[in-house]
Amino acid sequence: MLKYVMPQKLVVEEQKEDGDYFYGRFILAPLEKGYATTLGNSLRRVLLSSIMALGITKIKFPDKFHEYDSIEGVAEDILEIILNIKRIQLRKELKMDEEIELSIKKSGPCIVTGKDVLCPAGVTITNPNLHIATFNENARFEVYMYAQIGKGYVPISEQEKPDDIQMIPIDGVFSPVVRVNFRQENVRVLKKTDYDKLVLEIWTKRNIKPTEALRVASDIMIEHFKIIGSDLEQVEGIDTALFSAPDTSQIADEVEEEIDEKVESIVEDIEEEENEIEAIVPPPVEKAEPPEEKIVEDVHSLSIEKLQLSVRSNNCLKRDKINTIGDLLARAPSELLKIRNFGQKSLDEVQEKLKTLFHITYEEIEEKK
């Protein structure tokens, strides 16, 4: 059956505050080849364009009719103040669909920051240290700001023209996600090394954390895929079983098989070392008299354990139901070599043991036949 490699979980590798912003790095692996780019690009587009948030869209300075004017006693002109106000980060704690009003009412001398903004219940400023304006002792400052829920970036040309001539419209910067990067890296699964790993980096304003933004973006994508899946189920002639989740249970079997292969390889290395030691210091061999016919018959009934073979050779023979020396001699050398993991080295060991311990050779057996 065709198998898909699926990630087990999303790893949050790093989260931290970076000035007026939050930063998060996420790892998703393993993925099928090409999936890192597919998922990374889709998530990036949704994160930057589709997360709903509060944004200021209109500003009103009493007795001022355009952004190119100035205010007495204020170091910044109105245009510069507007640019600072656009950087205010708003977070709503309650559900709200209507436009909300915020205001600043101050007199100098002082420095006006985000914490001086008066907000309605359920709305907070997440960057209270943001510099907005500088007042001298003669300054009297009053401004009203109007915010609403939106997504992405909405220029002035796409907004409704306000009826109040003192109202100055500004571009709506709603997206709480400032920047998104993703990259694809290779990752190993079993013997294959060309699977994908998705590394996703997200920078957000302080009104939302990267984990929350990623969850919202994922939910948006899932809702779209649900519509596609539900509509396809109603189309005649389509086998919906083709769209079922992939079965990854067989991967465990492949892992177990790979472990067995590694164990066998380790056993082979150990046996090679044992054989090298035996070659350097051969065991003492007692000189035996040529066996008589009756003794030969007794030898055939002996267990192969009497040959004192290596663990590997002994296990290979027993696995092929060769339990006695008679069973062993009934097989030709060419037949023994067909046994799994029983190679020429194991065959040489068997022949040496038969000749040394019992003065039996396969050549003599062939001559008697």
Contact 2, 251 (CB under 8 A): no
102 and 152 share one domain = yes
Q: Is 3 domain-assigned?
A: no
Asked whether residue 201 is assigned to any structural domain, the reply reads yes
**Strand pairing category for 123-125 and 167-169:** unpaired
Whether 81 and 66 have beta carbons less than 8 Å apart is answered as no
Can you give the pLDDT at residue 295?
47
Residues 301 and 273 occupy one common structural domain: no
Q: What is the 3-state secondary structure (H, E, C) of the chain?
A: CCCCCCCCCEEEEEEEEECCEEEEEEEEEEECCCHHHHHHHHHHHHHHHCCEEEEEEEEECCCCCCCCCCCCCECCCHHHHHHHHCCCCEEECCCCCCCEEEEEEEECCEEEEHHHCECCCCEEECCCCCEEEEECCCCEEEEEEEEEEEECEECHHHCCCCCCCCEEECCEECCCEEEEEEEEEEEEECCEEEEEEEEEEEEEECCCCHHHHHHHHHHHHHHHHHHHHHHHHCCCCCCHHHHCCCCCCCHHHHHHHHHHHHHHHHHHHHHHHHHHHHHHCCCCCCCCCCCCHHHHHHHHHCEHHHHCCCHHHHHHHHHCCCCEHHHHHCCCHHHHCCCCCCCHHHHHHHHHHHHHHHCCCHHHHHHHC
**Total number of domains constituting the chain:** 4
Q: Does residue 191 share a domain with residue 107?
A: no
Residues 148 and 55: beta-carbon distance below 8 Å: yes
- Does residue 41 sit in the same domain as residue 20? yes
Tokens of 48: 């930057």
- The answer to the question of residue 259 being in a domain is yes
Residues 168 and 59 in one domain: yes
**CATH code, domain with 295:** 1.10.150.20
Instruction: Please check whether residues 168 and 212 belong to one and the same domain.
Output: no
Alpha-carbon distance of 51 to 46, in angstroms, equals 7
Instruction: Confirm if 57 and 168 have CB atoms less than 8 A apart.
Output: no
Instruction: Let me know if residue 268 belongs to a domain.
Output: yes
Statement to judge: residues 232 and 260 lie in one domain:
no
> Does residue 77 share a domain with residue 101?
yes
- My answer on whether 189 and 79 are in the same domain is no
Are 145 and 239 in a shared domain?
no
Would residue 2 count as lying in a domain?
Answer: no
8 Å CB contact between 184 and 173: no
Q: Is residue 225 part of a domain?
A: yes
Give the residue from 138, 173, 208 where a domain finishes. Answer: 173
Q: Judge whether 301 lies within some domain.
A: yes
Provide the domain limits for residue 269.
249-282
Q: Residues 340, 319: contact at Cβ < 8 Å?
A: yes
Residues 124, 73 share a domain: yes
Report if residue 5 sits inside a domain. no
Collect all residues with Cβ–Cβ distance below 8 Å to 161 and sequence separation of at least 6. 169
What predicted TM-score, i.e. pTM, was given to this entire model?
0.61
* Same domain as 229, residue 216: yes
- From 158, 173, 188, the end of a domain falls on 173
For residue 74, what are its two tokens? 């204020």
Tell me the pLDDT of the chain (369 aa) as tens digits. Answer: 457 788 888 999 999 998 889 999 999 999 999 999 999 999 999 999 999 999 999 999 988 888 888 888 899 999 999 999 999 999 988 777 789 999 999 987 899 999 999 999 999 999 999 999 999 888 888 999 999 999 999 999 998 888 888 899 999 999 999 999 999 999 988 888 889 999 999 999 999 999 999 999 999 999 999 998 888 777 755 555 554 555 555 555 555 566 666 666 676 767 666 666 655 555 555 555 544 444 455 788 888 888 888 888 888 888 888 888 888 888 888 888 888 888 888 888 888 888 888 888 877 777 766
Alpha carbon separation from 315 to 270, 330, 360, 362 (Å, rounded): 15, 18, 22, 21
Compute the C-alpha angle 326/332/335, nearest 5°.
110
Report the CATH number at residue 25.
3.30.1360.10
